[in-house]
Homo-oligomer: A and B are copies of this chain.
């Protein structure tokens, strides 16, 4: 029985570094890459190795504690997720993201999959647009 601290990756030891990464991630509103989290920690004077940030984020992702998004620039970004399944609407200019629920999409995904003989379907939906604040004019 692994007694892991809540928030930390499952089955790992609660170290200062892991706590720091999880805490920093929790303070972010948007998706952040390993490098960004590392930078945040560095600015706060919290010394954590980049490799450790990568390892912790990876562990969190494996435990499904975070949402993962692969950006166009090749960086993988993470964000703590609030449990229930949802999707994101991201502003392409300022990066602001809104969580949106989409029961309609869930149903559609299941239906389409079954229709083609597919099973165990998961889906990823990303909406990218421009938010009111970033609209020119």
Contact = CB atoms under 8 A, between A and B. Distances in A.
Interface of A: 70, 72, 74, 89, 91, 98, 100, 102, 104-105, 108-109, 112-113, 116-132, 135
Contacts of A105: 105, 108, 125
Given A119-B129, A122-B129, A89 B113 contact: yes
A98 B114 CA distance: 12
Contact of A112 (B102, B109, B117, B120): B102
10 contacts: A74-B74, A89-B113, A102-B112, A117-B132, A119-B129, A121-B127, A123-B125, A124-B124, A124-B128, A125-B125
B124 A112 contact: no
B135 A129 contact: no
